[in-house]
Amino acid sequence: MIILPNVAPPALKPCLKSEYMKPFLPESFPTAFVDRYTALFGEQTMEEILHGYDAPRQTWFRINPLKISIQEGWNQLRSENIPFSADPMFEDAGWVEPENRSVLLESEAVLNGFVYVQGLASQLPVRFLDVSPGQTILDLAAAPGSKTLQIAGLVSTEDEIAAVELVRKRKFKLQENLSRNGAETVRVFLQDGTKVWKYRPEYFDRVLLDAPCSSEGRFDLHDPSSFSYWTPSKVKEMVRKQRRLLFSAIHSLKPGGTLVYSTCALSQEENEGAIDYVLNSFGECIEIEPIDFSAAERSDAVLTWRKKTLDARISHACRILPSNRMEGFFLCKMKKTASSNPSFPGKKSW
């Protein structure tokens, strides 16, 4: 158990940041991470992040409309005496406290697919994608399929949903998850997401890119494997992948369409920096739209880092700090206002 001081820490020289935090962290926790994000967020926010990594987290879920109606789903949970709480903002979402996690996971509601366990932060990208029947929708990095299932529950079985996954093993896991939970009509492709735009240029009404990332928002101080892989070079590696995927996502999106980009990372490079790359690369054909979501965990976008100031429009993005309710997360909603390239080649087969 981490013990953090109840009073504000004294002012510290930059070289002492990790020395100050070290007594309150597991010995294996990377001090470079503490240095980096204390510099980015400040000491008070860094303490909030550590509290979020330490706190037992609520288990969130949503009713799966592919299997049951929302009202019947709540009734099912009540009939099993599951001690849940319903979210006041989203009619299909709720949670159980950490001590009741196993009760929920072993319930008939979960085992039969009526209830799908999915973190609150993970649910947000689809909730702000503005999905409705009649649209063509692309999930560009889909495995294991939680968000693809969420999309499928908002449209009809006749609507086209394409779910893309590069890794064969993860693609089979994605297919199995979709089939088990009632989304058999989703088309799953074993494909490099960075190349999808070549096959379906400006084809989709909605594109979701929940990008591969450094997963910093999901660290658990009681589970060293959750952070043992982390290095600054890991962040740089993810940035390269994210930019290529964003390029493909925007070229795959119709003019007038909506793209939501999300990660479970904390780094400015993977989040605000990625959106700055989009605005610099695609100019006036992309607009950033505000996300109407208020939560105690929401914090301001970070527009200045290492003497570089980003486009002010990025302040509309939603950054979430880790807590007992949510993992750390970032999402940005974009509207494509004009063609990104009017001279695309003709449509190719997948």
Active site residues: 264
Cis check: omega of the bond before 5, within 30 degrees of 0: no
Q: Which residues contact 79 (CB under 8 A, 6 or more apart)?
A: none
Three-state SS for the chain is CCCCCCCCCCCCCHHHHHHHHHHHCCCCCCHHHHHHHHHHHCHHHHHHHHHHHHCCCCEEEEECCCCCCHHHHHHHHHHCCCCCEECCCCCCEEEECHHHHHHHHCCHHHHCCCEEECCHHHHHHHHCCCCCCCCCEEECCCCCCHHHHHHHCCCCCCCCEEEEECCHHHHHHHHHHHHHCCCCCCEEEECCHHHHHHHCCCCEEEEEEECCCCCHHHCCCCCHHHCCCCCHHHHHHHHHHHHHHHHHHHHHEEEEEEEEEEECCCCCCCCHHHHHHHHHHHHHHEEEECCCCCCCCEECCCCEECCEECCHHHHHCEEECCCCCCCCEEEEEEEECCCCCCCCCCCCCC
Ramachandran quadrant class, 92 (left: phi over 0; alpha: psi -120 to 50; beta: rest): alpha
Question: For residues 260 and 331, is the Cβ–Cβ distance under 8 A?
Answer: yes
